[in-house]
Structure 1
Amino acid sequence: MKIATYNVNGINGRLPVLLRWLQEDAPDIVCLQELKAPDEKFPLSAIRAVGYDAIWHGQKSWNGVAILSRVGEIHETRRGLPGDPDDSHSRYIEAAVNGLLIGGLYLPNGNPRPGPKFDYKLRWFERLIAHAGELLATGLPAMIIGDFNVMPTAQDVRRPERWLDDALFAPEVRAAYFRLLDQGWVDALRMIHPDETIYTFWKYWRGAFDRNDGLRIDHLLLSPALADRLVDARVDNHVRGWEKTSDHAPVWVEIADKSRKKRRASRA
């Protein structure tokens, strides 16, 4: 089974790109971020026309997350993280799909740092860590995937010296990411490619994609039970080169039906 995450950067404006990718790559389950559309503007008919059902948590002009499936019903278990009933951002959606429990997220950017947006990012991250621990405690095959807006290490950014003051590379944010891993979650891309240069996002300007001047900020974290079934994990870089595409590329994992030999994840 192939599960993907993709920050579409506006689902209606990028709909032809999304539909093309879904038809060509045919992932079984997909988490989307940055829909930038209210619930009533979600293009369900177009997505169903290419073989997917969907649930979504939209927001006008900003944020928005969704889960798509072509391999069975989507049983929604949560929308929005617990811990702050006044949080109005549409950044988290969770569902049971085809034997997996999947949390799709769009973690706050947090810039400028310092400031209230950065403080909100840290608070949101703490809520995620608390909820992620509860997911692990169930013992179910689970994953939390999406745009984390964090480069965990210097290996995950082309020119780390230029990002030292940025919220995506802040020590507090990187530490929070590794607290997730310390719970037992496994970074799928680094499990398969511990030493490779891998990016998932490239700015639109100054030819960043052509120069491979990118960041790795989209992550797929697997519970131990699911990490034992990991077959492969990759980035569909070519989609970033399409016309009118997102500034992110899709990232995916392939999961076997049964457990495989364990590999050791790397923080290098």
Structure 2
Amino acid sequence: MKITTWNVNSLNVRLPQVQNLLADQQPDVLVLQELKLDQDKFPAAALNMMGWQTAWSGQKTYNGVAIISRHALQDVHTGLPALPDDPQRRVIAATVNGVRVINVYCVNGEALDSPKFEYKRQWFAALTDFVRDELTRHEKLVLLGDFNIAPADADCYDPEKWHEKIHCSSEERGWFQTLLDLGLTDALRQVHPEGAFYTWFDYRGAMFQRKLGLRIDHQLISPALAAALQDVHVDLDTRAQERPSDHAPVTAVFAE
């Protein structure tokens, strides 16, 4: 089973790239973040014509998440139960061939002294509660997407520059560890314990060309999936295309 996550940073702009990725790489599941589309603007018909099943939670201009699958999507859920009034569309989950797929576009937080950081703190606590509950019902589970957290210095091109800054603060890394402590494994680090595997590159300053980025897009997997994990790949070729997203897709491959 092949599962890919990608922050597309506007599906309107990146739809041809999404269609090419689906056709060329043939994942079983592709999850997207930052659709930046109203619910009724999602290109479901175009994807269905290609043979893909879809579920999405849209929001105009900001946020938005989707799951695209070659298999049926069952028990679709959106949002976080602990934040029932949150208008931001950041979470969608579905079961695909017995695997619970939870796609998240986690809060950025802007800066440690920003009011948005308090929202990020509350949001990650709500996410942790949700995933803990989901794990009681699903042996095979993957929590994946754009976490807006680089979990270690090895996941940052300049640890001194980013020290205790947004995405790299000790508090945020603690939230990430709390998710792992639920029994999840960082899939990429299971396959590649060391080395730089950046998934986000700022558009400014030719950061991609200079290979200066952060690893903030992750797949966290339950023990049953960790036992079946075969490979994890960061797709830098897609990031190198014309008019790219600032994020690269991340693919995990599991034995059937």
TM-score normalised by length of structure 1: 0.93
Partner of 2:122: 123
DSSP-derived class of the 1:183 partner = coil
Cα displacement (A) at 1:112: 2.6
Cα displacement (A) at 1:91: 0.1
Cα displacement (A) at 1:247: 0.6
Is the counterpart of residue 102 in structure 1 residue 101 in structure 2?
yes
2-side partners of 1:82 and 1:227: how far apart?
27
Over aligned residues, Cα RMSD in angstroms? 1.1
Partner of 1:266: none
TM-superposition CA deviations, 1:11-55 (whole Å, max 9, x none): 011111111111111111011000000111101122223321100
Contact 1:80 1:90 in 2 (8 A): yes
TM-score normalised by length of structure 2: 0.97
1-side partners of 2:237 and 2:75: how far apart?
31
TM-superposition CA deviations, 1:97-121 (whole Å, max 9, x none): 1111110000000013212100000
Partner of 2:213: 214
Contact 1:77 1:94 in 2 (8 A): yes
Mapping 1:103-252, distance limit 5 Å: 103-252=102-251
Cα displacement (A) at 1:167: 1.9
2-side partners of 1:139 and 1:35: how far apart?
27
Partner of 2:33: 33
Cα displacement (A) at 1:135: 1.9
**Misfit runs of 4+, over 6 Å:** none
Greater shift after overlay, 185-194 or 112-121? 112-121
Is the counterpart of residue 74 in structure 1 residue 70 in structure 2?
no
1-side partners of 2:12 and 2:75: how far apart?
23
DSSP-derived class of the 1:78 partner = strand
Length, aligned pairs only: 256
Contact 1:143 1:220 in 2 (8 A): yes
Partner of 1:45: 45
TM-superposition CA deviations, 1:110-162 (whole Å, max 9, x none): 01321210000011000111111112222521111000000000000101222
Letter matched to residue 41 of structure 1: K
2-side partners of 1:32 and 1:159: how far apart?
27
Cα displacement (A) at 1:166: 2.6
- Give the share of equivalent positions with the same residue, in percent: 43
DSSP-derived class of the 2:13 partner = coil
Cα displacement (A) at 1:164: 2.5
Contact 2:155 2:215 in 1 (8 A): yes
DSSP-derived class of the 1:249 partner = coil
- In structure 2, list runs of 5 or more residues that go unmatched: none
2-side partners of 1:108 and 1:74: how far apart?
25
Letter matched to residue 133 of structure 1: R
TM-superposition CA deviations, 1:147-185 (whole Å, max 9, x none): 000000000010122222432112111001011111110
Contact 2:99 2:138 in 1 (8 A): no
Cα displacement (A) at 1:248: 0.4
Cα displacement (A) at 1:67: 0.3
TM-superposition CA deviations, 1:193-248 (whole Å, max 9, x none): 00121111111111111111011000000011111111111111110000011010
Contact 1:230 1:253 in 2 (8 A): yes
